[in-house]
């Protein structure tokens, strides 16, 4: 068995682990990071940037949101079902964290809204390729470089399996290295940040009730299987609810042009199995809301419906809702791709020459569906007295061919599971900290209650980096002998 010594072992090198390692090393601790894969950055390499509240970008761009406003908004959204002290500390630190990252050479494009109803809290990382997915990989690289500069030692391809304790205190971790050899690292503190269980079908079923691959399609990166949750619970941490960070997906688009999903993600008419309309579709840009609406329907399915005239409008004028993730997608090959789907016998995407035929293909009640479309077309003329959708997005459905797609719940991964306090100390069922055990990021993100808070975008990466920093500060203080944790 290989043996190492450190003050602190950081379990995993996603943004939470990287931030924890840098902060702990800056505060004087000797740190080893064990990462399961060959890469650092975790799921955040796919994302674009973290949340900031009260930042200079918001002030400069006239989009300011104060700590007081964000805090109250957040606590009301979660019905005060979450730890107000932790939320406050995270939000209060978030602007300083952007400065801290800038000190490592990270630059930001500014403060952005994810969708029109959200606040401009999403701070997108600047890259040499402009705004787009994977921008946050640049931030992760800067965190990694800073950690190396501070003398943090990285053991890649070294998954941690167990937290070791001597009495009530953490005294080490057990891992397996890239050669399959057992590794023991003696340490005074461990910070768990393994990113949740978004790739673990069994855990998702047990914890959330969703059947991953059947009624939920998580797009979490591989390898996020709840290792940290299991290790923390085994070490005595309280088992908090594990939730999906929900989103929604268009089913059946594999092998087709991105224009198909881009068109069906627009605020088109949304109906359920009964052929009934389900929401103000304008709100569907908030993927948390769409996830919840779809999850509440029979078989967790909704249908996005449109006609040839709407496709023509998107082709000519561009799509109605544009985001920074899908800035202005080219949808000119939508009809060709729907034709391709039909030829391939795709059973999730539908087109027909009449509304009745479309309903039969979708397997929904044709009469009710026709009534719903008639009522919806009426709202397009006189205003939506049912769900109050803005007139800009009310487009009548009348011109064949008609198109529909199935919308299903999906998710970025799981959030929550390990009880922590505002110092990111992992706590037992008695709410007292376990000496030397800390958790951060998705594993410990219990702050959304049942639904991800997308009205303040950048929230999950923001929580990961800020909770990582807090855990790094707390653990460094603990190992220096001035710790916050109570000794038994
Ligand atoms: C496509 C996509 C886009 C996103 N965009 C954004 C965005 O723009 N803004 C935002 O706020 N959020 C975004 N998110 C969410 C955000 O990326 C996550 O909230 C964040 O990465 C969580 O950080 P983390 O450090 O907790 O976990 P992760 O980033 O998931 O990292 C976990 C790490 O743990 C490692 N690991 C797992 N088990 C072990 C083990 N046993 N031992 C050692 N290592 C282990 C994994 O290999 C991984 O490197 C996005 C997510 C996805 C999937």
Query: What is the tens place of the pLDDT at every residue in 86-118?
Result: 999 999 999 999 999 999 999 999 999 999 899
Cβ < 6 Å from ligand 1: which residues? 11-17, 34-37, 42-44, 46-50, 159-160, 193-195, 219, 223-224, 227, 412, 441-442, 458-462, 464
Q: Whose CA is nearest to atom 21 of ligand 1?
A: 44
Q: Which residues 6+ apart lie within 8 Å of 444 measured at CB?
A: 192, 193, 416, 417, 418, 419, 420, 424, 426, 467
CA of 44 to the centre of ligand 1 (A): 5
Residue of 40, 109, 138, 195 with the most ligand 1 atoms within 8 Å of its CB, for mutation: 195
Atom of ligand 1 nearest to the CA of 16: 25
Please spell the DSSP secondary structure of 119-135, one letter per residue.
Answer: -S-EEEEP-TT-S-TTT
Residue in the structure block whose two tokens are 């040499």: 128
DSSP 130-185: -S-TTTHHHHHHHHHHHHHHTTPEEETT--EEEEEEETTEEEEEEEE-TTS-EEEE
| Mean pLDDT calculated for residue range 169-190 | 98
Q: CA quadruple 95, 18, 32, 442: dihedral positive or negative?
A: positive
Per-residue pLDDT at 24: 98
Say whether pLDDT at 386 is over 60: yes
Please check whether the two domains, 2-242+416-482 and 247-410, share a CATH topology. Answer: no
- What is the band of 221 on the pLDDT scale with cuts at 50, 70, 90? confident
Please say if the pLDDT value at position 486 is more than 60.
no
Question: Taking the complete model, does pTM exceed 0.75, yes or no?
Answer: yes
CATH architecture, range 2-242+416-482: 3-Layer(bba) Sandwich (3.50)
> Which pair of tokens denotes residue 460?
């999950």
Rounded CA-CA distance 32/147 in Å is: 10
**Sheet strands side by side (includes 153-155):** 153-155, 31-34, 8-11, 189-192, 433-439, 425-427
Residue 103: CB atoms within 10 Å? 10
* CA 49 / ligand 1 centre spacing (Å): 12
Q: What band does 483 get if pLDDT is binned at 50, 70 and 90?
A: low
pLDDT over threshold 60, residue 488: no
CATH class of 247-410: alpha beta
26-70 pLDDT tens trace: 999 999 999 999 999 999 999 999 999 999 999 999 999 999 999
Domain boundaries, given as residue ranges, for the chain: 2-242+416-482, 247-410
E strand or H helix at 439, and its extent? strand 433-439
């Amino acid at each position: 068995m290989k043996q190492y010594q450190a003050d602190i072992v950081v379990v995993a090198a996603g943004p939470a682990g990287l931030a924890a390692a840098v902060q702990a090393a800056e505060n004087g601790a000797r740190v080893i990071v064990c990462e399961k894969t060959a890469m650092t950055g975790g799921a955040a390499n796919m994302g674009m940037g973290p949340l900031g509240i009260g930042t200079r970008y918001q002030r400069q761009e006239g989009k300011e949101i104060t700590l007081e406003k964000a805090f109250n908004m957040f606590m009301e959204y979660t019905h005060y079902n979450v730890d107000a002290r932790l939320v406050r500390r995270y939000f209060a630190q978030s602007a300083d964290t952007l400065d801290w990252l800038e000190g490592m050479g990270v630059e930001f494009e500014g403060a952005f809204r994810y969708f029109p109803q959200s606040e401009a809290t999403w701070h997108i990382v600047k890259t040499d390729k402009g705004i787009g997915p994977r921008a946050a990989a640049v931030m992760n690289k800067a965190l990694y470089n800073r950690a190396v500069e501070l003398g943090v030692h990285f053991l890649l391809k070294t998954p941690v399996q167990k937290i070791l304790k001597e009495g009530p205190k953490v005294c080490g971790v057990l891992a397996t290295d890239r050669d399959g050899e057992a590794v023991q690292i003696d340490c005074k503190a461990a910070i768990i940040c393994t990113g949740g269980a978004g790739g673990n079908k069994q855990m998702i079923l047990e914890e959330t009730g969703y059947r991953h691959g059947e009624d939920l399609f998580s797009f979490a990166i591989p390898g996020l299987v709840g290792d940290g949750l299991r290790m923390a619970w085994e070490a005595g941490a309280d088992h908090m609810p594990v939730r999906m960070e929900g989103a929604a997906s268009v089913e059946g688009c594999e092998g087709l042009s991105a224009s198909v999903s881009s068109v069906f993600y627009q605020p088109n008419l949304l109906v359920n199995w009964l052929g009934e309309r389900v929401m103000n579709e304008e709100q569907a840009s908030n993927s948390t809301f769409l996830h919840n609406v779809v999850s509440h329907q029979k078989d967790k399915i909704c249908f996005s419906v449109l006609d040839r005239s709407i496709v023509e409008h998107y082709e000519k004028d561009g799509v109605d809702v544009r985001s920074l993730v899908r800035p202005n997608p080219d949808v000119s090959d939508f009809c060709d791709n729907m034709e391709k789907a039909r030829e391939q016998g795709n059973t999730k995407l539908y087109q027909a020459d009449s509304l009745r035929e479309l309903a039969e293909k979708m397997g929904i009640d044709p009469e009710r569906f026709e009534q719903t479309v008639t009522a919806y077309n009426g709202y397009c003329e006189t205003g939506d007295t049912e769900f109050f959708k803005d007139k800009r997005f009310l487009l009548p459905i009348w011109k064949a061919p008609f198109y529909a797609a199935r919308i299903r719940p999906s998710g970025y991964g799981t959030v929550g599971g390990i009880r922590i306090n505002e110092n990111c100390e992992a706590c037992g069922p008695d709410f007292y900290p376990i000496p030397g055990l800390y958790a951060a990021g998705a594993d410990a993100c219990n702050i959304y209650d049942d639904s991800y808070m997308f009205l303040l975008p950048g929230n999950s990466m923001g929580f990961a980096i800020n909770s990582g920093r807090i855990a790094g500060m707390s653990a460094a203080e603990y190992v220096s002998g001035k710790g916050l944790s109570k000794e038994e």
